[in-house]
Amino acid sequence: MSIFEIPAAALLGQLLLGVINGSFYALLSVGLALIFGMLRVINFAHGAQYMLGAFTGWLLLQYAGLGFWWGLLLAPLMVAVGAAFLERTMLARIYQDDHVSGLLLTLGIGLVIEGLVRFQFGNAVRPYPVPELLSGVFELGFMIVPRYRGFVVVAALALCTGVWLLVEKTRVGADLRAATENPTLVQIFGINVPRMMTLTYAVGAGLAAIAGVIAAPIYQVSPLMGQDLLIVVFAIVVIGGIGSILGSMVTSVALGVVEALTKIVYPEASAMVVFIVMALVILFKPNGLFGSDT
């Protein structure tokens, strides 16, 4: 089927679905890009931290009676605190090693987290209710948009933009970038570089956890929910330019839309379109679309 033969309502629906998926991708990829760009660690525990955010929100609801909004506040904080502990006790020891060390260490951490959750709770998928404030739909005339999905798009893009502004346009971001390039010199000026590294990893993991809590009412909660998504998000980070926050944001939304439209035109290719684009980008622009060529 040609894209020009798609009914307008179906096309708009798929575009909305693509933007929603792209928003989740953006939250995850920005956290991944932040960690690699600042710490030079490929964080393969990111998918597990995304799942842990969703599961923590579900646990807060089931056992503490705390609803979505409290879960959205507390679950990322709890995951971020755990990530800070991991960074201080494990990751900080391998910053001078090559990227493979960080990849293998975080992959192992992610597998342990997933294994512990599966051991305790099994593989069953658990529903997570949409908050009452965001139930219902928006009537746009030409289409109906669920309120919660509209919230997802706005919240995700606002958070990603905030992270980009923090890193690129503030003194804190400038100090952080300087600490990445020359930590010894930055410490001479009285900046606590180890603390900045810990906070960076905690923020990146917290973004993954936020994405997990937001995703829970749509995709439900499962110990395996982060596995396949991590591979897609890693491909997006490579396409946008490893370490480029802006590149991750733009690429996430664009590829979310492309993936959604492919499901109409050629459904069999929808699962691999991201990897086809990644292969082409690596072939013709190895540093990514927004990566530095220097």
Q: Report the pLDDT value the prediction gives residue 9, as an integer from 0 to 100.
A: 61
- Percentage of the chain with pLDDT > 90? 36
Stretch 255-266: mean pLDDT = 84
Least confident of 124-133, 169-178, 197-206: 169-178
Q: Report the pLDDT value the prediction gives residue 143, as an integer from 0 to 100.
A: 67
Distance CA 32, CA 103 (A): 12
At residue 159 the predicted structure's pLDDT band, cuts being 50, 70 and 90, is: very high
At residue 7 the predicted structure's pLDDT band, cuts being 50, 70 and 90, is: low
Distance CA 223, CA 118 (A): 6
The Cα angle at residue 160 between residues 102 and 37, in degrees rounded to 5: 30
Write down the pTM of the prediction.
Answer: 0.90
pLDDT surpasses 80 at 14: no
At residue 55 the predicted structure's pLDDT band, cuts being 50, 70 and 90, is: very high
CA 198 to chain centre: 18
Q: Considering Cα of 277, then 283, then 286, then 289, what sign does the dihedral take? A: negative
Q: Supply the CATH classification number for the domain 3-284.
A: 1.10.3470
Residues 6 or more apart whose Cβ sits within 8 Å of residue 18: 253, 256, 257, 258, 259, 260, 261
